[in-house]
Amino acid sequence: MTIQFNDETFRDDYSYHNSAEAIRRFPFPFDKDDYMYAVNMEPHAGGREGSPFENRFDVDEHYVAEMRDREITLNEDPLRCQSLPHMELAGWDLLELIMVSKSEDYPELFSLHRDGDRWHWINRPLGIDHKFTFLDPTTLPYGPMEYITRQAQGDFAVLDQREGNLWMEAGMVTSQADWSLDFDIGMNFFEWHAPVPKAHEMGIFQRALKFLLAIQQDSPSRRLNWTMTVNPRLDTSPENYHKWGPEKRTLTPENVGEKQYLRVELQTFFRLPRSNGLAFPIRCYLISLQDLVTVPKWGRRLHRVIRDLPDELADYKGFAVNRQLIIDYLAQFDDGKPTSPGIFPDE
């Protein structure tokens, strides 16, 4: 497999774009015509060939540009990456998981040679060729978690497990849907989910926590989550709300197809062997509405989902202000025909 990496930006001139192939493989999150919270977990054990579910960590045409964007964000605000002292071992666990997975799944892009604790890592797309000693942080330019997550798409929360709960105590978070690691660090599962409406009453979090606590080493899990973002911006953090918040007001009936993006998170969960921590990678995928409706099933379905969504959810997901514009735009692509089950395009 060869991947042609896009030269693109996620800020300023927003030159981000999806190739025809990237559109077809987009992880569309709705398997039916309506949406409500669900624990919706499934084993992360491969998936349709070419889809983002196929490998443990998906690498796609946005890889190099996303890593460049992460670097800009970190330069502006180093607190986007934090690790409490007791999470160092979990950081090494994560480094090993990502290096092993990527070198096995994309051997033409990444290589890992291990001779005991002496490791040699090659990342060809980013031009990195590095020898270091596993578990010796002085042999890396950053801590282990920061080192590897500067080379991996998506955000990473690293959770400690104790007292029957999960605690967010390390992470690399630069492409988030309006939440902040600096605010959440040290919180437990219920504390960091406190702002989510409705789900508490539904008992969703109790069930989800119980599921996550029981995740075993060789059985990672995954789920999809979604929201909406105006412009293809990865860093929609509360810290930078003043930059992206006002952009919500720039939508018009003429530009909504081009500027409104569906933002999908592929969330995965891996038990870490040495630390017994839980890695929670959150990979963000963006697609403009005008690209999305090129798949007729998705255009029809997204229209119905957004139209029928409870108000609290549109509010929470931050697009209530543009909801009608979005519905009116999508309505053109909904001919009322039935849609097939599942998330993939009809062939």
**Binding residues for another protein, per CB under 8 A?**
84, 86-87, 89, 160-163, 210, 214, 216-219, 273-276
Least distance to another protein, CB of residue 114, Å: 11
Burial class (CB in 10 A: 0-12, 13-18, 19+), 74: middle
Query: 126-161 burial by CB neighbour count: b if 16+ within 10 A, else e?
Result: eeeeeebebeeeeebeebbbbbbbbbbbbbbbbbbb
**Nearer Cβ to another protein (163/335):** 163
Q: Are 18 and 52 in contact (CB under 8 A)?
A: no
Task: Give the integer Cα–Cα distance in Å for 290 and 273.
Answer: 43
Least distance to another protein, CB of residue 216, Å: 6
- 223 has catalytic annotation: yes
Least distance to another protein, CB of residue 135, Å: 8
Q: Which two tokens stand for residue 37?
A: 């919270």
Report strand pairing: 278-288 vs 155-162: antiparallel
Q: Are 337 and 331 in contact (CB under 8 A)?
A: no
**Nearer Cβ to another protein (217/332):** 217
Full DSSP string of 258-271: HHEEEEEEEEEEEE
Task: Give the integer Cα–Cα distance in Å for 324 and 331.
Answer: 10
Of 130, 134, 95, 139, nearest in space to 115 by CA: 134
**Nearer Cβ to another protein (262/272):** 272
Least distance to another protein, CB of residue 282, Å: 23
**Nearer Cβ to another protein (78/273):** 273
3-class secondary-structure state, position 15? coil
Least distance to another protein, CB of residue 231, Å: 40
Q: Are 132 and 114 in contact (CB under 8 A)?
A: no
**Nearer Cβ to another protein (100/199):** 100
Task: Give the integer Cα–Cα distance in Å for 287 and 229.
Answer: 10
Can you name the residues that pair with 271 across neighbouring β-strands?
A: 278
Q: Are 91 and 158 in contact (CB under 8 A)?
A: yes
Least distance to another protein, CB of residue 144, Å: 14
Least distance to another protein, CB of residue 92, Å: 11
**Nearer Cβ to another protein (240/276):** 276
Q: Are 253 and 194 in contact (CB under 8 A)?
A: no
**Nearer Cβ to another protein (243/274):** 274
Can you name the residues that pair with 165 across neighbouring β-strands?
A: 162
The catalytic position among 56, 222, 223, 271 is: 223
Active site residues: 223
